[in-house]
Structure 1
Amino acid sequence: MTKPNLLPRSSDMASETSAEFSWPPLESNPEVFTEYLYQLGLPSDWFVGEVFGLDDDSLGFVPRPAVAVIVTFESLKKETDAVAAAKVDFFMKQSPKLDYACGVIACIHSVLNSLDSITLVENSILEKYYRATKTQSPADRATTLENMTEFQEVHTSYASLGQSSVPTAEDDVKHHFVTFVQNALGQLIELDGLKKGPVVVNAASSDILKDTAAVIQARIEAGVYSDSLAVLTLAKVADDIDAAVQALIDSSNGVLEVTSVENKDGAKVSRIKCTATGHEMPPRADIVTAHVNSKRFKKATEWYSYDFAQFEPYIVSHRRKPKCLFCNVTGIVLNKIPSEVEKHMQGRKFVRMKEHVKFFDEAEIDKDD
């Protein structure tokens, strides 16, 4: 008896409207990429992080192990086609219909060339796609992606995140995504769906981050890449709070704290919560450092430690909105921003109404009764 074919066919994945689907570009936002890949089937102990510099000190903050590096760049001139072909586990072409889907293709290249380290979520979108395409040609893999409705639905929901507007096919999208991985031979490989195939860029790579950084620097200096670029990594989530993160927590005067949340698999994982901004982040030194150095954090901590009690009884904490204040004179709700409160108290409405407001102590009221 013939065994049934359990692999999904391209036709099974297609909808009547899939041929008309336009793949909008993804913003190079690590949080968006991470959540996007989680929806596709990346296990929760892996994530997409950001590299904030190409020097050794900056690379030292990047969590290990990193199995892939994604680079989005603006190309200033075409590279030579005379390159060494390479062997990898998975490579797909960027077809005309996927013209703006290079970010998706970079994600696919990153994950599906790292399956010796990553176990995809069973029956997930990405696992179905891999099972359907692992014996296909690079061009056929692109066709299968074009027609995969589940992929399209996830892509549509995440293409609008991390950016103020979603670029359309008519927009001038200047940046392009490529992926760098190490193959079984220890070579650093560039995966670009616009090229004929995988390309060897370093014949003996010992450190994927440092070696990729060296390639990027060389291309910037050669005028191939502009300096308008972003570098992301596919890395494993740290199991514990390391010393660098703990030092940041200890020096935050209680603003940063460790909290525990459940991931989508029901397992408890650590997160760093900023009590000043309400922001939660993974326990990674680079992300926490970037947050601490952000304008939002600096403003929030200034407000967090500000003594709003000096304005009582005219301005008091809002009973139902802990991040807000309430003006007992005008009845207006205010944000906990010192300059906003001071401006309100100097306004004509407050000054005029204050003259007609009288506050009583509860003891005096009880005494009168």
Structure 2
Amino acid sequence: MSPGQKRYIPLESNPEVFTDLIHNLGIKTLKFQDVYSIEDEGLMALVERPTYALVLVSPVGADYEKYTKENGPPPYTGSGEDEPVIWYRQTIHNACGLYGILHALSNGDARAQIAADSPISALVSKCVSLGPEERAIALEESTVLEDAHKGAAQQGSTAPPALEDEVDYHYVAFVKGKDGYLYEMDGNKNGPINKGIKLSADEDLFGPGGISLVKEFIEREQGGNPNFSLMALVPDLD
């Protein structure tokens, strides 16, 4: 199969499904949690801290496509440990949930939670040294990812779609880079986007900076589909 021809069954936007997938990859110390509000202080207080990453599930409408085309970053060519973030180009169809998970796990303080002997550790370490195209191929060829994704895609509260189905929603991750800046990580764009917001060493993603990025993204869909949902990557204390 040529690069870019592989298809996965889409993941349900469900923190239990996402958590099961990362646990199967060997990361037992983290979980995904629903964020029910970015306005109500009582509901916001339910989000566990620190929040390592945010994953926004957004409808893919005309506004999203237009903004992406007009405001996308230049083509990314970076690689290596000196880069502030690890970004993955999406070449597996319907796997945007998986790419959101990988962006969340591979960056910021979450990466330190990846155990050295876990199934995902060797893959992330390999990808760091590769350029974007080689990195994309490594993900396509990974049986570890494929098996974990396949198991997670069969879970959830609704019947999974068919392999050939197209979905009208997309996952975008927001992470903190090594340089302290917040980044928008979308495998369908040309590369990571530095959002120009720098956090202090003790700030996490569910502070004013990270929340402002989510609000900006939602407000961009003027007159569009309001069906957004948000998940946070947090410690698993159970």
* Shorter-chain TM-score above 0.5: yes
Instruction: Give 1:1-369 correspondences, 5 Å limit.
Output: 22-42=7-27, 44-57=28-41, 58-76=43-61, 77=63, 78-79=66-67, 80-81=70-71, 83=73, 88-95=84-91, 98-114=92-108, 118-205=112-199, 206-209=203-206, 210-223=208-221, 226-238=225-237, 282=238
Task: Give the Cα separation in 1 of the matches to 2:108 and 2:198.
Answer: 18
**Maintained 8 Å contact 1:220/1:226:** no
Task: Give the Cα separation in 2 of the matches to 1:236 and 1:122.
Answer: 18
Task: Give the Cα separation in 2 of the matches to 1:104 and 1:222.
Answer: 24
User: Partner of 1:106: helix, strand, or coil?
Assistant: helix
Q: TM-score scaled by structure 1?
A: 0.54
4+ runs deviating over 4 angstroms: 18-21, 82-87
Identity of aligned residues (%): 25
1:6-64 deviation line (CA, Å, top 9, x unaligned): xxxxxxxxxx9x9985311111110111111011121x221111101111512222110
Aligned residues: 220
Task: Give the Cα separation in 2 of the matches to 1:82 and 1:173.
Answer: 21
**Maintained 8 Å contact 2:84/2:177:** yes
Q: How far off is 1:69 after superposition?
A: 0.4
Name stretches of at least 5 consecutive residues in structure 1 with no aligned partner: 1-15, 239-281, 283-369
Counterpart residue type for residue 53 of structure 1: S
Task: Give the Cα separation in 1 of the matches to 2:94 and 2:135.
Answer: 16
Task: Give the Cα separation in 2 of the matches to 1:100 and 1:56.
Answer: 32
- Alignment RMSD, CA only? 2.6
Q: How far off is 1:214 after superposition?
A: 2.1
User: Partner of 1:155: helix, strand, or coil?
Assistant: helix
**Maintained 8 Å contact 1:183/1:189:** yes
Question: Which of the two has higher C-alpha Rg?
Answer: 1
Task: Give the Cα separation in 1 of the matches to 2:231 and 2:174.
Answer: 10
Q: How far off is 1:132 after superposition?
A: 2.1
Task: Give the Cα separation in 2 of the matches to 1:113 and 1:165.
Answer: 32
Task: Give the Cα separation in 2 of the matches to 1:220 and 1:119.
Answer: 30
User: Partner of 2:198: helix, strand, or coil?
Assistant: coil
Q: How far off is 1:169 after superposition?
A: 4.2
1:161-205 deviation line (CA, Å, top 9, x unaligned): 114222234323001011101112321110000111110224224
Task: Give the Cα separation in 1 of the matches to 2:38 and 2:115.
Answer: 32
**Maintained 8 Å contact 1:88/1:198:** no
Task: Give the Cα separation in 2 of the matches to 1:117 and 1:65.
Answer: 14
Return closer, same or farther for 1:168/1:39 CA change in 2, 3 Å cut-off.
same
Q: How far off is 1:133 after superposition?
A: 1.5
Q: TM-score scaled by structure 2?
A: 0.82
Counterpart residue type for residue 75 of structure 1: V
Q: Which has the higher contact order (CA 8 A, sep 6+)?
A: 2
Return closer, same or farther for 1:152/1:83 CA change in 2, 3 Å cut-off.
closer
**Maintained 8 Å contact 2:30/2:113:** no
Task: Give the Cα separation in 2 of the matches to 1:216 and 1:226.
Answer: 15
